[in-house]
Structure 1
Amino acid sequence: MPNEPHRILVIDDEPQIRRFLRISLVSQGFVVYEAANGREGLMLALKEVPDLVLLDLGLPDMDGQAVLDRLRARSQMPIIVVSVRGQEGEKVRALDHGANDYVTKPFGIQELLARIRALLRLREVSQEISEGQRYRGNGLVIDPVERRVWRNGSPVHLTPKEYAVLERLCRHSGRVVTQTQLLREVWGPSHADDTHYLRIVISKLRQKLGDDPADQSLLQTEAGIGYRLMIEPERADDPADDEKETLS
């Protein structure tokens, strides 16, 4: 139902954090479920089927990464890790294991709310589209089926590696895709540490797609972690056929 409030599950062992998040989220119209440990969180996720999960990693009964793995095995619901662990390795590990975003404690509530809204918007859009749907934004149209890209109505010519990276970023639009994941999928497992290959391709993509490196409104860099493509799948009610006729 369109007017039904979004449901958010908070898994955190700190009562003060849970209370702060509950008050902040309820004030924005969300329904909030709370769990103080991993097992309780997994049971609530199965019972209530929330629209989004806020997950702490430092839980008393089991490691938050294990909770993340189990949640991701069951569902594609958005998961934001909210943790005091600010090391780059922890962030990369969580994102590689399926987290959609990572916020370090202490955090600004307005930023967290904005990240929640962004993920929920992307989730709603993804539920309305079918497999193979095109992507559009910032003057771009990307057609995964035909493997074609247009910028402001003109075709963009990409190398196979450039297109492969772009296609994987599209597939996870709005979500950070780690350097390791991109390198393994595009270049192969033996190149998982060859980040210079990826940096060159990202630089070429920015040039060809017209993305200002200083602004990064389209292709955002998460330093030391990976990249996020800010583009949305085309909605079913978009005039795709007319657009495609024009672009052709």
Structure 2
Amino acid sequence: MQNRVLLIEDDDELRMLLARYLTSQGFQVREAANGRDGLALATGQDCDIVVLDIMLPDINGLDVLRELRSRAHLPVILLTARGEETDRIVGFEVGADDYIPKPCNPRELVARLQALLRRIAWDQQTGVEAGRCYGDLRVEPGQRRIYQNDQPLDLTGTEYEVLQVLLAHAGGVVRKTDLMQWALGRRLEAHDRTLDMHISNLRKKLGNEPSPRIETVRGLGYSYRVPES
């Protein structure tokens, strides 16, 4: 079965280039040249994953992402202007799973898409058992949901992956290089703050009382501390 990609990009030349390449790599591609059409397609269950440009003519891509997150939990990769770190940070805060700076290399986009889709398909290999509890958290891999006090946490796909890897190694230390590979599907590069942003968002969503659940182990990585009951 072909993976269905929704490509929301107003640059006609770039959109057609990426669409042709994705199609040649076995993806089924739907296209939208503006935010409103993209939202309609995304919420109509016509795709498995979304590639979203931040700069759109009608609705800012970040606003499209906010609206999409209020309706669905589709994985989203942002296309951002090179060097615009603020857009990337806000994008992760709103709910993006990954980003690629423009101009976009089609081969890199395919690699990111495949990595994200693999992570979604490989939940059963993480070591987290369905229904297992970690203090007030309960993991349901079949639903791709993590519950806190029986209420579903509002997590992006990548935040879910990061958290379940940490839970699978609760009490131990997961090296940043391993967490980047296992949860985001790529190597940790110098000055790449993607993982740090996801950890920051998870800490906010999990709450910091009486202390952060996800602890930074300086020089190594991160450790999930199960709260005492």
Confirm or deny: 8 A CA contact 1:134 1:142 kept in the other structure: no
How far apart are the structure 1 equivalents of 2:222 and 2:55?
Answer: 41
1:131/1:68 CA distance change after superposition, 3 Å? farther
Matched, 1:181 2:201: yes
Task: Tell me which residue corresponds to 1:93.
Answer: 90
Give the CA deviation at 1:206.
Answer: 3.7
2:55 pairs with one of 55, 58, 65: 58
Match for residue 203 of structure 1?
A: 218
Mapping of residues 219-234 of structure 1, within 5 Å: none
Distance 1:50 1:142, change over 3 A: closer
71 and 185 in structure 1: CA distance in 2 versus 1, 3 angstrom threshold: closer
5 Å-filtered alignment, 1:143-154, equals 144=167, 149=170
**1:45 and 2:45 aligned:** no
User: Which residue pairs with 2:22 in the alignment?
Assistant: 25
> Could you tell me which amino acid in structure 1 is paired with residue 201 of structure 2?
Q
Larger Cα Rg: Structure 1 or Structure 2?
Answer: 1
Q: TM-score scaled by structure 2?
A: 0.63
Instruction: Give aligned-pair identity as a percent.
Output: 33
Q: 1:8 to 1:185 in 2, by over 3 A?
A: closer
Output the TM-score relative to the length of structure 1.
0.59
Equivalences for residues 33-182 of structure 1 within 5 A: 33-84=30-81, 86-126=83-123, 130-132=130-132, 144=167, 149=170, 158=172, 173-174=183-184, 176-177=194-195, 178=197, 180-182=200-202
Give the direction of change, closer, same or farther, for the CA distance of 1:203–1:25 in structure 2 (3 Å limit). same
Deviation of 1:183 (Å): 5.1
Kindly state the Cα deviation for residue 109 of structure 1 after the two structures are TM-superposed.
1.6
Distance across 2 between alignment mates of 1:142 and 1:50:
26
Confirm or deny: 8 A CA contact 1:134 1:143 kept in the other structure.
Answer: no
Aligned partners of 2:43 and 2:206: how far apart in 1? 34
* TM superposition shift of 1:85: 5.3
Show structure 1 runs of 4+ deviating over 4 A.
none
Q: Give a deviation string over 1:63-106, Cα, whole Å, max 9, x none.
A: 11010011122222210001225321111110111101011101
Deviation at 1:127, TM superposition (A): 8.2
**Distance in structure 2 (CA, Å) of the matches to 1:5 and 1:81:** 21
**Is the CA contact 2:131–2:140 (under 8 Å) kept in the aligned structure 1?**
no
Gaps of 5+ in 2: 133-138, 142-163, 186-193, 224-229
- 1:106, 1:33 → 2: CA distance? 20
Compute the displacement of 1:114 (Å): 0.6
Amino acid in structure 1 at the alignment position of 2:218: S
- Label 1:57 to 1:134 Cα distance change in 2 as closer, same or farther (>3 A): closer
Question: Distance in 2 between the 1:82 and 1:143 partners?
Answer: 28
Kept in 1: contact 2:43–2:72 (CA 8 A): no
- Once residues 134 and 205 of structure 1 are traced to their aligned partners in structure 2, the CA distance between those partners, rounded to angstroms, is 28
Q: Distance in 2 between matches of 1:95 and 1:204?
A: 24
Deviation at 1:204, TM superposition (A): 5.2
Counterpart position of 1:10: 7
Shift of 1:182: 4.8
Q: C-alpha separation between the residues in 2 aligned to 1:93 and 1:118?
A: 22
Distance apart, 1:142 and its partner CA? 6.5
* TM-align CA RMSD: 3.9
